[in-house]
Amino acid sequence: MAARDDKTQDPVLRQQLLLTRRGQSYFSRKLHELSDAEFDEPSGLAGWTRRHLIAHVGLNARALTNLTEWAATGVETPMYSSPTQRNDDIEFSSTLPVQALRNLSDHAAIHLNVEWRDLEADAWMHEVRTAQGRTVPVSETIWMRAREVWIHAVDLDNGGSFADFPAEFVDRLLTDVLGAWDKRRDAEALPSFVLSPTDRASSVSSGDVASAVTLYGTATDLAAWATGRGTDGVSASTGEVPVAPRWL
């Protein structure tokens, strides 16, 4: 009989898988609250209808399934055959009948979850290459998927909110975004920031603290700002709240 539980016993991986599955449930719930007609309306992302966004999230699950199968079998299976293919697939899938889009979302998520569940414990450290060309252990796909499902649930723009996110997700998101800015700071001359969440014991920073703009707000509001999802509840030491650099 097939295992119904994750093969990995690593408590950290199991916790991450739980967080991502909760995110998938949240995304699916928001999606199922949409009527068929509402699929045609704009998403929260510029230039994309909800159809584009739903297609993207489904195709992302397939792409991460490719990486998980790569780790399981050793047969190189990239996320996408090319950046053009990624975008063409989103465009094409966005034109599918609504029921087909709903099925894509559900089935791709289930398939990815099965691949994760059945991945042998020692295979989680196997290295794969992301669409951005980064070489990472396949365990990184869990966090990659967490970001997609939680944040794009809000981008569906039908009532999802960063306020619904678990604190552990919000905190890791802040670390992730600030780390991404750190890596690109010199090349892109990014400004420095201190984020001082009013509901956390300590601040987080990116760049040179002495010259940084300090931003205040709840950790949730700061995470929304840092990922380019609005400035509600955020204030800045310089008065006007600056636009956050791009994240990914």
The footprint of Zn ion on residues 138-197 (CB under 5 A) is: 148
What is the distance between the alpha carbons of residues 203 and 24, in angstroms, rounded to a whole number?
29
What is the distance between the alpha carbons of residues 186 and 162, in angstroms, rounded to a whole number?
30
Residue 4 DSSP code: S
What is the distance between the alpha carbons of residues 177 and 153, in angstroms, rounded to a whole number?
18
Smallest distance from the beta carbon of 152 to Zn ion, in angstroms? 6
Nearest to Zn ion of 89, 148 (CB atom): 148
Nearest to Zn ion of 8, 93 (CB atom): 93
Smallest distance from the beta carbon of 149 to Zn ion, in angstroms? 9
Nearest to Zn ion of 148, 221 (CB atom): 148
Nearest to Zn ion of 156, 190 (CB atom): 156
Smallest distance from the beta carbon of 55 to Zn ion, in angstroms? 11
Give DSSP secondary structure letters for 110-177.
Answer: HHHHHHHHHS-GGGGG-EEE-TTS-EEETTHHHHHHHHHHHHHHHHT-SS--GGGS-HHHHHHHHHHH
What is the distance between the alpha carbons of residues 158 and 141, in angstroms, rounded to a whole number?
27
Q: Binding residues for Zn ion, how many (CB under 5 A)?
A: 1
Smallest distance from the beta carbon of 151 to Zn ion, in angstroms? 8
For Zn ion, which residue has the nearest CB? 148
Which residues are at the interface with Zn ion (CB under 5 A)? 148
